[in-house]
Amino acid sequence: MKLDLKTPGQTINKAYAKQTVRRDELDKFRENLSVLFERLRTDEREEHLKNFIADFLKDTWYRRTNLVNTSDHIDLAIYTGPSSSDPVSVLIETKTPVNRQEMMTREKPNAKAFHEIILYYLKQVIEEHNHDIKHLLVTNTDEWFVFDGVWFEKHIRRNPKLVKAFKELRPGGHDNRFFYEDVLKPWLDALDVAIPCCWFDLRNYAKIINARKVESRKLIDLFKLFSPRHLLKQPFANDSNSLNRAFYGELLHIIGLEEVKEKGKKLIRRKVEGRRDEGSLLENTINLLQVQQTLVTMENLAEYGPGEEEQIFSIALELCITWLNRLLFLKLLEGRLIAWNQGDTIGAFLNRDHIRDFDDLQELFFEVLARHPRERTATIASKFGDIPYLNSSLFEFSDLERQTLQISNLKHRLELPLYPATVLKDGSGRRASGTRKTLHYLFEFLDAYDFASEGNAPIQETPKTIINASVLGLIFEKINGYRDGSFYTPGYITMYMSRESIRRAVMEKFNRHYGWKCADLTDVYNAIAPSQRRNANELVNSLKICDPAVGSGHFLVSALNEIIAIKSELQILMDQDGRLLKDYEITVENDELSVRDENGPFVYRPGNKESQRVQETLFREKATVIENCLFGVDINPKSVAICRLRLWIELLKNAYYRQDGEEGSKSGALETLPNIDINIKSGNSLISRFALQESGASLAHYAPPERQKLRNLTKRYKEKVWLYKLSTDGSKHKNLLRREIESLKEQWQSFSFPVDWYLREYRKVQNQLAQTVFDFDRVGQEKLQGLQKRAGELEKKISERQRTIYTNAFEWRFEFPEVLDENGEFAGFDVVIGNPPYMRADSGQEHLNMRRNIIDSEQYETVWEKWDLYIPFMELGYRLLAPSGVEAMIVSDAYCHAKYARKSQEWFLKNSAVTGIDFIGSLDVFDEASVHNVICFFEKRDGNSNRPLRRLHKGEFGKVRLLPTDEQERLSYRVFFPEDKDQINLPNVTIAIGDICYISFGCRPNSDEKTARGKFKVADLLSTANDLHHPKAYIEAKDVHRWSYNQNRWLEWGTERSPKQLARPTFEELYEVPEKIVAADVSGAINRAAYDDGHVYHSHTLISFVLWRFLQGIRNRSLQKTARYADEKRRADLPQRETLEATSRRFHVKFLLAVMNSSVARDFLRANRRSNIHLYPDDWKKLPIPDVPPEDQAPIVSLVDQILTARKADPKADISEWEAQVEERVRGLYGLTEQENAVVEDISS
């Protein structure tokens, strides 16, 4: 047995290591550690030692939040909460310093103390079913050994031999000594893997306990090791997976927004009337837009919403986000400048001293940050000092600002009431109240947070919450998705997807370029010779990565960090002189780039030669990757602005002072930012007018002069874009380059093949016109007139389609010259990655229009049935790939089950290599979201012999069980189904319930959007009285229990508005049948299906099951979509009504009800439903029903009768005995084996 020993600094999470420690918390730690040393010095009895350690832990961190006490035979434990009923999270085994025989040491770790901690661990996980053990500690108060619970999970709990031996420790079985000496000791001696372990000697810290500088880093590492962020693995500040609610709430208030919950989604909206504040940024802006009647002169107003109110709000919000983007970027810049100057705030400039009003802020944006120091006026130079020039389009007027307002137009005199839960304090330290001028309030609010400390100073002198780029990205993603309730993809997901896809793409790059056959990056590292390092770096820089629904840019930031980490791992990360950064550990931790040297996290120190070299290298490498490798598109211009901001912030983290200085500057100037905005563009990714390739052909069919013209055009296009990225000569020069680039794109269109049939036809007509123009005879003139007429008709049609379908089309064919080869062919991206929007078929009129445009564009083969918007995004991502490229998409796990996904699944199985599927449907990936997810990886190559890696994540992300797989050519769409239990085979004959019953949602009793929009809602149609206007008994899902329902409301029917003006009226015969089953549309621990023989009507929250024979002779469009009579127009995919009616005569409704309420049915639906929340008719239709004769159904029907009678007499009657008999009989009819019954019971528990 060997230990892989690490220091506390090497053990703690690298992202947590970058976090600062508050001075007051560190001082408390010092004080309590001193007390511990004193108590240990005077008393060495084991029972007392445990108490001393417990007091130290409680007094420093845990007293109010976590119980620290003994547990059973465990010396000491830290619980997950404050009560002994909470699970144990940390196990601590203590020995006295003199007990050397039992205590483990670095040289002899295979000792009783280690055996005991293993035994206590097994008791917890096997007897207590506690799988939440985070760490295990063994100590004699001098030496400490700290083990991660993950290693114990993998090597102890999953070891059958150890588990079997532990279970034999029972009365009459083996004792503990046998377990230690005869089981654990020989097993540990034979263990061929080193056990990772943090080791330290507490005595070494006694000397540095009061040190303030030189040794304080080691003390901080010890502080973090004992903290709940490490021992309990709790989230720490600036965790990119969680939202800072206090910052977010107050920022919304200052903007003028509020968060509300609608239909399970948290949406952001303008504050409602009565709560609006005139001084908020949004209301100030809206008022000016209305007063100045700005909308009258604006173009493309429809892009901002359907009506004037929505347009004004959307324009005002975009302006506010633009201004806040600048301010928050500057706050982060100010924080960096302060940190680089050892905390000296003399360089702070975002305050009332420098910026008194909105006019001053305008000057800062456009006369300081957008201009070289040499170009600034004397007044500006004097007023703003040495604030650096940034060369960022962030500080150029946006098109919207030019058309509407600038920040200097805002009224400065207006005041804003402080947020009720404001972070601001008054002079006595209590929460401040009253009002402030909005700009001053904003500055005070930002100053209440720490934008300077992260990764720059180990100790935070003032107790402020730290705000970093990840936190800001999360907040802006939420604000930006205000209408749809967008969800920010957590950092652990973007990290994982970036790592899996980019590493695969890098390996493929090297294999293709050098002809290697590397299986992973370790092989690539071993294959790179020292002379190849620079070329290898450039090869990685040739990667092309795209997110077609880029949002806030989170995936691109994760991709950036991953590429830098890969370069470091391959030892090809070098400065401009070719010297490696080999003495630094560069990894991605917690979605942040971690750079460490032997002393801990790297901190930039201007003036230090080595520090300058590292900072410059990181900046240059990041800039190169952003310029060359990262691309994004989003339909929302606000998203584009925020994504650009995120990437600039990533560069800002490694900005540096140039050593040469600059004329007009008092010291070395800050390195300017490259123009990365051209890589992130706005447009509708899903719709293009031009194909990526011309119907499978290359451009070789053009005549040689045309091909040369295209090559020259491509070369000029690439050059102009590159010149734009490098330009540092101010906005005038960049605007000139932008115009040249737009002109080149216009020329490109003549070499692009139209997707649209009308545009292709128009080009044909134009070519014919060019050939006919010189035909002067009568026949020629008639032909000319005919062609001119045809051209006019096509122009009209094209203009109409441009206005509707192609209004915001994005032309992948030529928008990014970086993915064109030298001949002008579309070469494709190496990685397409993202979290595309999820929008169901019933998501509202605006989205219905978008769906119609996607269908009319005729660009996708996989849109089918009631497809979700992510379906075409998945297909688009694959089409955008270069050969051997990798697609990684996280989408709704409805993709695994939904009928509409079938075509997409089969398309990918046919056209791609499905390399990986991560089933994460049981995890709540998105905070407060009802949607669950699956991650899919595809490669653009032949997949027949490929074996998809199918990973099921349980409990938490990363805890994986591999699912069965096979060669892809032998797999069906079922490969996308997560099988989280043994498959249950049904040996007896069954028939789908959809062949027995007509299955349909109930009516949607609110006003129809088209014919009666807003005229009435559900409540207007309901009454507790059964009268002339309310004749129909009515229920909803909330009224339904298992077997029966409560009914006390009546539905308006037969009036002017109901059912004529209902959004979905269905048809009366659905409800007026002798008997039927109604089932709740919400999935849960049990199915809720109820019997009805009272002609009850119900809403769309319930699903009706009606025997086909009860609908005999009834004909309507709804029924014809499901089945047709022999004398009706046939559809090959639909069954015949006569057959279904005959089948239904063999089944009793109450028998079907029993099956539907069984655990077998519930388990079937869990494995086959499209949603984790809702059940749909299509989910139920496939439910297999035992095909047994009426005499076999009769005993079950009799039991159901007894249940219904008991429930009718007393809704709370105990029916558990009858239910158990029904359950047993239903399982028996399925012919389940004993083992399969056990599977069902396991699922039930």
Q: Cβ distance 1090 to 1041 under 8 Å?
A: yes
Q: How far apart are CA 979 and CA 962, in angstroms?
A: 10
495 and 604 share one domain: yes
Neighbours of 1028 (CB within 10 A): 7
CA 904 vs. chain centroid, Å, equals: 21
User: What's the rounded Cα separation, in Å, for the pair 581 and 725?
Assistant: 26
Q: How far apart are CA 96 and CA 77, in angstroms?
A: 17
Same domain for 954 and 867 = yes
Domain boundary among the residues 172, 207, 231 is at: 231
Which has the higher per-residue pLDDT, 171 or 380? 380
Task: Match 């910052």 to its residue by tokens.
Answer: 247
262: number of Cβ within 10 Å: 9
User: Residue range 390-419: average pLDDT?
Assistant: 92
Quick check: 171 pLDDT over 60?
Answer: no
> What percent of the chain lies above the pLDDT cut of 70?
91
Joined tokens for residue 1185:
């029903």
- Band (pLDDT 50/70/90 cuts) for residue 1177 is very high
Q: What is the mean pLDDT of residues 389-397?
A: 84
pLDDT of residue 433: 93
* Assigned domain for 1064 exists: yes
- Tell me: pLDDT of 1243 over 50: no
Token pair 């400039």 in the structure block, residue: 349
Cβ pair 465, 244 in contact under 8 A: yes
Say whether pLDDT at 303 is over 90: no
Separation in Å, CA 157 to CA 44, 106, 806, 856? 34, 24, 58, 56
For residues 480-511, b (16+ Cβ closer than 10 Å) or e, as one string?
bbbebbbbbbbbbbbbbbbbbbbbbbbbbbbb
Instruction: Please give the structure tokens belonging to residue 508.
Output: 């493929």
The stretch 864-880 carries a mean pLDDT of 94
What per-residue confidence (pLDDT) applies to 411?
96
Where in 532-615 does DSSP place strands (E)? 545-547, 585-589, 592-597, 600-601
Per-residue model confidence as pLDDT tens digits over 38-59: 888 776 676 778 889 999 999 9
Query: Do 464 and 554 share a domain, yes or no?
Result: no
Q: Determine the pLDDT at residue 921.
A: 85
Q: Who contacts 52 (Cβ-Cβ below 8 Å, separation ≥6)?
A: 36, 39, 40, 43, 141
- pLDDT tens, residue by residue, 887-900: 999 999 889 988 89
The larger pLDDT score, comparing residue 519 to residue 464, is at 519
DSSP-assigned beta bridge partners for residue 1185 = 991
DSSP calls for 464-530: --B--HHHHHHHHHHHHTTTTT--PPPHHHHHHHHHHHHHHHHHHHHHHHH----SSHHHHHHH--G
CA–CA separation, 353 and 343 (whole Å): 19
Q: What is the CATH number of the domain that holds 957?
A: 3.40.50.150
**In this structure, what token pair is assigned to residue 64?**
């109010």
Question: Does residue 703 fall inside a structural domain?
Answer: no
Q: For residue 6, give Cα distances in angstroms to 3, 141, 145, 207, 762.
A: 9, 18, 10, 21, 71
With a pLDDT cut of 90, the percent of the chain lying above it is: 53
Contact predicate 175/143, CB 8 Å: no
User: Cα(28)–Cα(49) distance, rounded to whole angstroms?
Assistant: 20
Among 13-17, 137-141, 999-1003, the least confident range: 13-17
As a 3-state breakdown, the chain gives helix, strand, coil percent values, each rounded to 5, of 45, 15, 40
Residue found under tokens 């547990």: 71
Q: Amino acid identity of 1109? A: R
What burial class does residue 791 get, using C-beta atoms within 10 Å of its C-beta: 0-12 exposed, 13-18 middle, 19+ buried? middle
Give residue 703's pLDDT. 74
- Note whether 864 and 1007 are same-domain residues: no
Element (H, E) at 611: helix 609-629
What mean pLDDT comes out for the span 306-329? 91
What is the extent of the structural domain holding 647? 491-682
The answer, yes or no, to whether the previous bond of 1059 is cis (omega within 30 of 0) is: yes
Looking at the structure, tell me whether residues 1078 and 1158 fall in a common domain: yes
**Residues facing 1004 on adjacent strands:** 1064
Mean pLDDT of 356-379: 91
DSSP-assigned beta bridge partners for residue 545? 630, 831
Going by C-alpha positions, the residue among 649, 656, 536, 677 that lies closest to residue 592 is 649
Round to whole Å and give the CA distance between 616 and 843: 48
In a shared domain, residues 156 and 50:
yes
In a domain, 711, yes or no: no
Confidence of residue 530 (pLDDT cuts 50, 70, 90): very high
Specify whether 176 is located in the same domain as 316: no
Measured in degrees and rounded to the nearest 5, phi and psi for residue 919 equal -85, 110
Task: Give strand ranges (E) for 779-910.
Answer: 829-834, 881-892
Which of 15-29, 906-920, 1099-1113 comes out lowest in average pLDDT?
A: 15-29
Domain assignment present for 194: yes
379 has a pLDDT exceeding 50: yes
Q: What is the mean pLDDT of residues 1151-1172?
A: 84
Q: What are residue 1184's DSSP bridge partners? A: 992
Which tokens in the block code for residue 886? 């990798």
More confident: 808 or 660: 808
Report pLDDT digits (tens) over 989-1035: 889 999 999 999 999 998 887 788 888 999 999 999 999 999 999 99
Measured distance CA(837)–CA(634) in Å, rounded: 11
As to burial, measured by CB atoms within 10 angstroms (0-12 exposed, 13-18 middle, 19+ buried), residue 910 is exposed
**Alpha-carbon dihedral 1061, 1064, 1067, 1072, rounded to 10 degrees:** -100
Task: Write out the two tokens for 352.
Answer: 């009332």
pLDDT at 984: 46
pLDDT > 70? residue 981:
no
Of 653, 682, 711, which closes a domain? 682
User: Please, what sign has the CA dihedral across residues 691, 695, 699, 704?
Assistant: negative
Instruction: Note whether 211 and 326 are same-domain residues.
Output: no
Residues 6+ apart with CB under 8 A from 271: 256, 257, 258, 277, 280
H-run or E-run covering 632: strand 630-634
Q: Mean pLDDT across the stretch 1039-1057?
A: 94
Neighbouring-strand partners of residue 833? 888
The pLDDT, as a whole number, for residue 668 is: 58
Tokens describing residue 288? 């000016």
Number of domains present in the structure of the chain: 5
Q: What is the pLDDT of residue 1050?
A: 96
pLDDT tier, 1069 (very low <50, low <70, confident <90, very high otherwise)? very high
Q: How far apart are CA 1046 and CA 1147, in angstroms?
A: 26
Whether 376 and 468 map to the same domain: the answer is yes
Sign of the CA dihedral with 193 first, then 195, 196, and 202 last: negative
Residue 12 covered by a domain:
yes
- Co-location of 566 and 604 in the same domain: yes
pLDDT digits (tens, 9 = 90+) for 419-457: 999 999 988 889 999 999 999 999 999 999 888 765 555
Per-residue pLDDT tens over the stretch 211-230: 555 457 788 899 999 999 99
CB 896 within 8 A of CB 977: yes
- pLDDT computed for residue 270 by the predictor: 92
Task: Decide: 1071 and 1031 in contact? Cβ < 8 Å.
Answer: no
Same domain? For 1054 and 953 the reply is: no
Residue 735 lies in a domain: no
Do 521 and 408 belong together in one domain?
no
Pull the structure tokens for residue 124. 């917890």
Q: Give the whole-angstrom CA distance, residue 431 versus residue 435.
A: 13
Do 1034 and 1097 form a contact (C-beta atoms < 8 A)? yes
Examine residue 1089 and state whether it is found in any structural domain, yes or no.
yes
Q: What's the whole-number mean pLDDT along residues 607-619?
A: 94
Q: Over the stretch 815-829, which tens digit does the pLDDT of each residue have?
A: 999 999 998 889 999
The whole-number average pLDDT for the span 1158-1180 is 81
- Give the CATH number, domain containing residue 1186: 3.90.220.10
The whole-number pLDDT of residue 242 equals: 64
User: Is the separation of the CB atoms in 153 and 126 below 8 Å?
Assistant: no
C-alpha to C-alpha distance for 121 and 1178, rounded to whole angstroms: 46
The whole-number pLDDT of residue 662 equals 46
CA angle 263, 267, 269 (to 5 degrees): 125
Mean pLDDT of the chain: 87
The per-residue pLDDT for 759 is 79
Whether 748 is in a domain gets the answer: no
75-90: burial string, b at 16+ Cβ within 10 Å, e else: bbbbbbeeeeeebbbb
Nearest one of 111, 63, 113, 67 to 92, comparing CA atoms: 113
- Give the separation between CA 94 and CA 227, rounded to whole angstroms: 19
Average pLDDT over residues 309-323: 93
- Domain closes at, from 948, 976, 1004: 976
DSSP string, 1066-1117: --GGGTSSS-EEEEESB--SS--EEEE-S--EEBTTEEEEEEGGGGTT---H
